[in-house]
């Protein structure tokens, strides 16, 4: 079986509850699951982790592996991309970071690296920002994929959100702003 997929029994053992309780969570829509052709439920580890976070249950790193969140930084401005990567590496939160210099490479990394968040330079996507955001969100193996759009000062804020991005930062960006926005998008703001 795929290492990223769990059975209802796996979830029940982890939570120390009966499989019936897990079935109820799935039926009530609290825990995302899909049905195999044989009629069995399978739960993606990412969906299970989200369920645990939302329910306030403990998350064991030995079960989920690294607790580093994955971030794809997509942009053709080498200085901007480098600044963003360095800002994230200096953050208190652990991140696995990969970059893409064009939209084709970004699409490949989306499928292979499976990021939790894409930081997308609006100039890379050009006038097709809404289309690029829509494609990324729909084709991402990680649900829900978060997108942070880096815009120019001339782009209106509403256009960034209307494009399908979850949030945006206007250039010039600062290290604290990047760290705060990324932390907020990945962990929820408190």
pTM tops 0.75:
no
Residues 3-23, mean pLDDT to the nearest whole number: 91
Domain count, the chain: 2
What is the residue-averaged pLDDT of the chain? 88
**1 pLDDT more than 60:** no
Say whether both 122 and 176 belong to one domain: yes
- pLDDT average, residue stretch 73-95: 92
133 lies in the same domain as 47? no
Residue 62 lies in a domain: no
Q: Phi first, then psi: give them for residue 21, nearest 5 degrees.
A: -65, -40
CATH number at residue 178: 3.40.50.2300
Give the per-residue pLDDT at 3. 61
- Give mean pLDDT, residues 123-152: 86
- Whether residues 113 and 46 share a domain: the answer is no
**Structural domain for 151, as ranges:** 69-187
The verdict on residue 101 lying in a domain is: yes
- Shared domain check, 99 and 166: yes
pLDDT for position 65: 67
Tell me the C-alpha distance between 90 and 73, whole Å: 15
Alpha helices for 76-165 (secondary structure H): 78-89, 103-113, 122-125, 129-139, 157-162
Residues 173 and 89 in one domain: yes
Nearest partner of 137 among 158, 157, 152, 115, judged by Cα: 115
Could you tell me if 33 and 106 lie in one domain? no
- The answer to whether residue 9 sits within a structural domain is yes
Please report whether residue 63 resides in a domain. no
Residue 90 and residue 35 share a domain: no
Closest CA relative to residue 4, chosen from 187, 143, 105: 143
Average pLDDT over residues 85-100: 90
Highest mean pLDDT among 123-127, 140-144, 159-163, 166-170: 166-170
């Amino acid at each position: 079986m795929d290492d990223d997929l769990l059975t209802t029994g796996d979830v029940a053992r982890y939570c120390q509850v009966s499989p019936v309780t897990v079935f109820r969570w799935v039926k009530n829509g609290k825990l995302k699951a899909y049905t195999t052709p044989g009629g069995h439920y399978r739960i993606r580890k990412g969906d299970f982790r989200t369920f645990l976070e939302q329910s306030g249950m403990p998350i064991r790193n030995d079960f989920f592996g690294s607790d580093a969140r994955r971030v794809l930084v997509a942009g053709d401005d080498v200085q901007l991309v480098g600044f963003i990567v360095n800002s994230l590496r200096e953050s208190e939160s652990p991140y696995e970071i990969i970059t893409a210099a064009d939209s084709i490479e970004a699409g490949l990394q989306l499928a292979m690296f499976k990021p939790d968040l894409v930081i997308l330079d609006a100039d890379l996507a050009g006038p097709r920002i809404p289309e690029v955001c829509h494609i990324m969100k729909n084709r991402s193996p990680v649900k829900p994929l978060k997108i942070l759009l880096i815009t120019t000062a001339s782009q209106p804020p509403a256009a960034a959100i209307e494009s399908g991005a979850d949030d945006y930062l206007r250039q010039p960006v600062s290290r604290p702003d990047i760290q705060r926005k990324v932390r907020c998008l990945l962990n929820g703001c408190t």
